[in-house]
Structure 1
Amino acid sequence: MSDDLVDHYGTDGFEDTRLRRSAHGRLEYLRTQELIRRHLPSAAGLRILDVGGATGIHAAWLAADGHKVHVVDPVPTHVSAARHLPGVTAQVGDARSLDVPATTYDVVMLMGPLYHLTSSTDRAQALSEARRVLRPGGLLVAAGISRYLSLLELGTTGRLTADLEPSLRTALSTGSYDGHVGFLPSHFHTADQLQSEIASAGFPTPTVYGVEGPTWPSLDVAGLPAFDTLVDAALRCARLVEQDPALINASAHFLAFTETARP
C-alpha cells in the first residue's frame, strides 16, 4: 500500500488542491470542517494526530484554530509540505505502526487510511493503533469513501458504459474499487460497514455522517462558476440527511466519530 501511495501521490501535484479544484471537493472541505468542529472538545490547544493527513489541508485550519497538530503520512513530499504550515509538525509514517507513545493524543484523525488500506486486517491494525495512542476519553475521527461514489459520478456525468458495469457491480457488492475512474485501488465502505469496523476494533459504536449529501454530483456538473450560488442549498441538504439511513450512502464520503472509554 505505502509504495503505491508514494508512487501515485509523489508524482501527482494535485493532492494539495484536491479539496479546492472541484465543486464537490469544496463541498467536502466545508462539511468536513463543520462536522469536525462540531465534535471537537471546546478547549483550545488539543493534541491532534492527523494520520494520512497528506499535505496538511485539514491540519492547517486546525492549527489556526489553536490546536497542536502532528501529521503522519507515508508520502515524503506530503510531509515536507505539511512541515511548512504554521503550527504543524509532520513525519513520514504508516497508520498500521505509528511511531507514537501510547495515550498521547486528545484526537486522532484517520482521513485516508481506511480507504487506502484494502485489506480488512490492515484497516483493523490502523484502528488499533489509533486507539492505542488516544488518551482515555479521546476522540477518533475516521473517514470512509462511499461504495456509491463511482456509480453516482459516472451516471451523472454520462460516462457510465456497459464496459464499466462489471467494475461497478464489484464495488457495490464488495467495496473493492479497482481504479476504473482514476485514483488508486481502494476499499469503499457503506456507512454501516464503517461503523461496524470501528466498533470491532474496540471503540464504542461510532456516529457516522454522510459528508456531502446527495447533491455533490450535480454541483460538479454545474461547475465551479456556479458553486457560490448553489453551495448554501447543498450544505443545508447535506445537514438534513446526514444520518438518514435512506440517503447517507449517497454522500461521496463518510465521517465517523467516537470516543475511547474513560477510566
Structure 2
Amino acid sequence: MTAHRIAPEVMTFYASTIDESTRLSSTADGRLEMLRTQELLRRHLPPAPARILDVGGGPGTHARWLIEDGYEVHLVDPVSRHVDQAQRVDGCVAELGDARGLTAEKESYDVVLLLGPLYHLLERADRDQALAEAYRVLRPGGLVAAAGINRYASLFEHTAFAHLHRERMQESIGNILRTQMHDGKKAFTAAYFHSGAQLLEEVTAAGFDAQVFGIEGPTWAMLKATEQYTGDSLIDTPLFQSALAAARMAEPYPELLAASSHLLAVGRR
C-alpha cells in the first residue's frame, strides 16, 4: 500500500453510499455502459491468455468476464469493501492499492485498465502519475484503457431527472461545467470531468499512442429519463437496443464524444 492519500469523499462514497457491484446491471444506462465497455475492450485486447492489471477495478465487475474470457486478472483498489468483493470472484487476485503507486514490477503486464481512477483524481499531477505507473508496468506494445467521465454528463443526467428547473441545481451543474470538478459534498463523490480532447491529451502525454471512444453514445440519458418516469426496466427492450446501436453508429464522429456519459481512451505503449 502506498502513502498516497485518497479523497475521503471517494472512500466514503464507495464504502457505504453506493453498491458498485450492481451499478452496471441494475439500470438500462448502466447495462449500456457495461456492454459498450466490453465490446470496446474485446476489440483491442490481445488474445487470451494475457496478464491484465485492473487498477481501480472495484468489486471485480469487469474482472469476472475477463477471467471467463480466459485472461489472468490482478485487481487493485483502494476500497477494502471492493477488494473483499473482488476476492470472491473465482480466479481473481485482488489487493488494496493506489493507481499512483502500483506494487507491480516494471513491464510485467500485457494490459492495464484504469476504468475509474482518472476521474477520481482531481489534480492533473495525480492523473499523470497514475498514467505513468500504467506505462511503467506495461510491456512494450502493451495496452492501456483509461476511462473518464464526460464534461457534460451531469448536464444530461440532471435534465433526464428533471432537476434543472431548480435554480440551485442550475448553479451546481453550472459550476461543474465551468470547473470540470465535483467536490463530492452532495450526491456523487469527488470527480473530475474530461472532454474527449483532454483525455486524449493526458494519455498521449504519458507516452501512449491513443484514441478516444464514447462509451454510451448520445442517447443514454433518454434511457435514464424513461426508466425514471415509467418505473420500468428498459434492459433488452427495443429502446435499449436502439440506444446501443446509436452508440456504435456515433463512433466515427468525434463531435459526438461530448454526448456520452463516459469516455474510453485506448492506447499502446
Shorter-normalised TM range = over 0.9
Q: How many residues align?
A: 258
Report the residue type matching 1:49 in the other structure: L
Kept after mapping to 2: 8 A contact 1:167/1:178: no
Matched, 1:126 2:138: no
Equivalent-residue separation in structure 2 for 1:29 and 1:215 (angstroms): 15
The residue aligned with 2:178 is 173
Distance in structure 2 (CA, Å) of the matches to 1:198 and 1:187: 15
Contact 1:167 1:180 in 2 (8 A): no
Q: Which residue of 2 aligns with 1:155?
A: 159
User: What are the residue-to-residue correspondences of 1:71-220 with 2, within 5 Å?
Assistant: 71-160=75-164, 161-179=166-184, 182-204=187-209, 206-220=210-224
Deviation at 1:31, TM superposition (A): 0.5
Long gaps (5+) in structure 2: 1-5
How far apart, CA to CA, are the structure 1 residues paired with 2:36 and 2:51?
Answer: 22
Q: 1:208 to 1:200 in 2, by over 3 A?
A: same
| Whole-angstrom CA distance in 2 between matches of 1:213 and 1:13 | 24
Matching residue of 2:54 = 50
Q: 2:235 aligns with which of 227, 234, 237?
A: 227
Quick check: 1:104–1:135 contact (8 Å CA) kept in 2? yes
Residue 249, structure 1, aligned to residue 258, structure 2? yes
Unaligned runs of 5+ in 1: none
Change (3 A) 1:108 1:235: same
Q: Percent identity?
A: 48
1:85 aligned counterpart, secondary structure? coil
C-alpha contact 2:9 2:190 (8 A) present in aligned 1: no
Task: Rate the CA distance shift 1:9–1:257 in 2: closer, same or farther, 3 A.
Answer: same
Task: Using structure 2 for the length normalisation, give the TM-score.
Answer: 0.92
Range with bigger deviation, 80-89 or 62-71: 80-89
Q: Is the 8 A contact 1:164 1:180 kept in 2?
A: no
Q: Report whether the alignment pairs 1:9 with 2:18.
A: no
Q: Distance in 1 between matches of 2:190 and 2:252?
A: 27
